[in-house]
Structure 1
């Protein structure tokens, strides 16, 4: 009887099947954190297609994937110059007061609004690229919601969206997922608070929480217009992000303050860390001998003093 049940279960099992995955990454450290996962998925037999702009700071062809590019109205030098200017503006702001930090937050939203929406138009207005993507008939899309491109593409093709990110600048992830974040215990970004706040800090944190929808509206102003035009209905990026199938949270509670997570959120911090290589014999000798050489003079001086 037991053998019959076992055979029945084995016949009911399905073999693993490779899928088709569209990847829409963001530039810089966002791509650095996503790249190991993308390459591993490709190595395991999945058909992974990555779309990137022709001009970028760090993105390029990756192993075990197909890379498609699309034209953008800027060069790599212009992009680097704009990023440098933005960093210079942000680092020149005085952050010693809560008001100054809030002003820095608003400036960040303005800069990101410009940087993150140009690629949206580059992808969605490219009819040849969109037709090619449609012909692939993807099973899912993996994207970083730091840029709205991937989320809008997923909504346009009606395919499940998997988001991978650390923390969204305007808190769109919390708004979209409706993940509870008690303002008395979970500090918002750019506040520099800990999870142990006094009454004033909790009040500031509450104001920041109330202003989150306005900040996201400011950040996604242009993206909301593009999404509404492409999808032929009034919508917003927060609404589109709320349709996420999965959230990969690229952080770890070893470094982050404790906060609730929704059932479709998975913490993947450290995913891009490489395995440590074994030490060579020379490294081991240095690790053993060098401390001895440093301690030996101290031991000799103690012996001499006692004598």
Structure 2
């Protein structure tokens, strides 16, 4: 009896002891720019939890600062930062130009292919760097985390035979739902470039169906260079579905409740709140006024500030609306467009929260094409 009781206590103590574990070795292939800002939070947390994290980036990139939290490995590229800036500014300019359908869709598609090919040139340079590939093969990584917008990390994961995790907002042709085999009813879920809502007329549903039939074709054209490179690297014919449908986990940077309701797979994780993980204090010049404003703020006479620099104005507006979203405002009515100058307009609009909590306010900024030449977006 005493022996049995002693064995029981020993078993309980063993269960309460911390288990022995070891961190994994993770290769991260991010997409540069704003996509990296959200992924960086995840990468730093993984490093804090004992995982060895290696971030692979091109020598020429945006917003890729060195840090002690993880190791950064660069690979040589043939492009300059000015070339990347120019291609992206052309991309932004087309998206801010209003055209009727289908001219808007064709213009956005062509400029998207152009900017994709510009950035995908860095991926080609990666596979030309035998020294970098040798290092990656010999490092013994356990998994790969990537933003698949440009497919470079996906191709690399197949090349290294590593399980891979997607951290993304979505694909342009609904692949993030089609590859995991999630339903997207054409009568309910509008396709990209249709600009329809979930309440469609008969002719809008016909239009939606026609667009869905073309989705895989225009995605094959969009990722044409990626498919060509993947076939060369993997020594076999590769389709888009072949590249993406074997993802182990899909981490999606949007909120499920703001999307069209549909069944999703167990390996799809929604982390929309991660986009707001980093917070910065307001500038000292405007912080006291906002903190003591009570329940309302009135912005006026802004159109007289013709001397304001665009980049400063853009940063101030973003910080202002970040602060408004944190404040306990019950309701902010829709405001008319405030003309800041001939190139910039700011529009306030209500953002309804399906979950509990107060209504939230957002901001829409519209820029005319002329300003892009002197801005740093």
1:161-181, CA deviations, whole angstroms, 9 ceiling, x for partnerless residues? 100111212333233222211
Unaligned runs of 5+ in 2: 298-377
- Cα–Cα, structure 1 residues 194 and 226, in superposed 2: closer, same or farther, change >3 Å? same
In angstroms, what is the RMSD of aligned CA positions? Answer: 3.1
2: CA distance between counterparts of 1:292 and 1:177? 45
Which of 36, 40, 49 pairs up with 2:41? Answer: 36
Matching of residue 121 in structure 1 with residue 124 in structure 2: yes
1:89 alignment counterpart: 94
The answer to which of 55-64 and 197-206 deviates more is 55-64
1:197-220, CA deviations, whole angstroms, 9 ceiling, x for partnerless residues? 222222222112111110121011
1:202 alignment counterpart: 205
Kept in 1, the 8 Å contact 2:23–2:50? The answer is: yes
Q: Secondary structure at the match of 1:271?
A: helix
List aligned pairs for 1:211-230, cutoff 5 A.
211-230=214-233
1: CA distance between counterparts of 2:15 and 2:177? 42
Q: Secondary structure at the match of 1:168?
A: coil
List aligned pairs for 1:144-293, cutoff 5 A.
144-274=147-277, 290-291=293-294
- Cα–Cα, structure 1 residues 120 and 185, in superposed 2: closer, same or farther, change >3 Å? same
2:316 alignment counterpart: none
Unaligned runs of 5+ in 1: 295-307
1:301 alignment counterpart: none
Kept in 1, the 8 Å contact 2:145–2:164? The answer is: yes
Which of 7, 11, 17 pairs up with 2:11? Answer: 7
1: CA distance between counterparts of 2:296 and 2:80? 54
Q: Under a length normalisation based on structure 1, what TM-score does the superposition of the two structures give?
A: 0.83
**CA drift at 1:275:** 7.1
Kept in 2, the 8 Å contact 1:251–1:269? The answer is: yes
2: CA distance between counterparts of 1:195 and 1:221? 31
1:36-68, CA deviations, whole angstroms, 9 ceiling, x for partnerless residues? 111111122110000111111222324411001
Q: Secondary structure at the match of 2:78?
A: coil
2: CA distance between counterparts of 1:133 and 1:76? 25
Kept in 2, the 8 Å contact 1:170–1:216? The answer is: yes
Kept in 2, the 8 Å contact 1:194–1:257? The answer is: no
- Cα–Cα, structure 1 residues 74 and 285, in superposed 2: closer, same or farther, change >3 Å? closer
Residue-pair matches, total: 289
Which of 54, 63, 67 pairs up with 2:72? Answer: 67
Q: Under a length normalisation based on structure 2, what TM-score does the superposition of the two structures give?
A: 0.69
Matching of residue 133 in structure 1 with residue 136 in structure 2: yes
